Amino acid sequence: MLVAAAVCPCPPLLVPEVARGAAPELDAVRAACTDALGVLAAARPDLLVVVGPAERPGRGPHPEGTPGSFRGFGVDLDVRLGRDPGTGSEGVLPPSLAVAAWLLERNGWSGAPVEGLGVGEPLEPERCAEVGRQIAARADRVALLVMGDGSACRSLKAPGYLDERAEPFDARAAEALGTADPAALMALDPDLALTLKVSGRAPWQVLAGAATTADLTGTLLYAEAPYGVGYMTATWS
């Protein structure tokens, strides 16, 4: 059963070594992520599952110890998922889960075993929800760390250029995340999300499925659009 969730954005720029001179610009996001992970730790889960967008979904779950790297972003930095060094038998973490592994390491995660799962942006909402329900049934006390960004079309300099539909979409997502509203998350349009370059839609709908039988309260910790991309951090507990 799902007992807690943390929602965090997943840009590699969260890692200061990747952001370099621009690192201070995301200090507020990093602080919100630290607060969100504190809620997960306080819930004392039996299992923590990290869910994030992946270009090649379905490869996983990634067991504890699976390696990740930021070498593709020009930084000689490696991470592993969770505390167990493991064998890395399921290959390399996708970037979103590598960012999650970095967040867990940075914040000294010492709680439950950790697994990772990458989901693809085109995955249908009901299939996302089914994945979430399956995750929630894995243990008596399950926690989720849900990685994903909002629209990448919030400004003229955004990766996807400016789209007037982007801000209202992100506002709906932020309200749903901040109020722990699974139905509102499930109502997010996958086609529009794809057009607006939203990487978090599928992971958020996995969360919605996992929370189907839970009674959780949401708190929105951060919702801004630096660099024209919607970054949201929230907790469900």
Fill in the DSSP letter of residue 227. Answer: G
Which pLDDT does position 58 carry in this prediction?
Answer: 55
Which pLDDT does position 55 carry in this prediction?
83
What CATH superfamily classification does 2-236 receive? LigB-like (3.40.830.10)
Residue 216: the pLDDT is 98
Residue-range domain boundaries for the chain: 2-236
DSSP annotation string for 68-134 = EE-GGGT---EEESSS-----TT----HHHHHHHHHHHHTT--SS-EEEEEE-TT--HHHHHHHHHH
Backbone angles phi, psi at 49, to 5 degrees: -115, 125
Q: What is the pLDDT of residue 111?
A: 84
The b-or-e profile of 108-127 (16+ CB within 10 A means b, else e) is ebebbbbbbbbbebebebeb
Burial track 184-206 (b if 16+ CB lie within 10 A, e otherwise): bbbebebeebebbbbbbbbbbbb
- pLDDT grade, residue 47 (50/70/90)? very high
Q: Give the tokens for residue 27.
A: 């200090």
Q: What is the pLDDT of residues 72-108, one digit of tens each?
A: 999 999 999 997 666 544 568 999 999 999 999 999 9
- Asked whether 137 and 214 are in contact (CB, 8 A), the reply is no
The Cα-based distances of 234 to 60, 75, 89, 144, 157 in angstroms read: 25, 28, 32, 12, 26
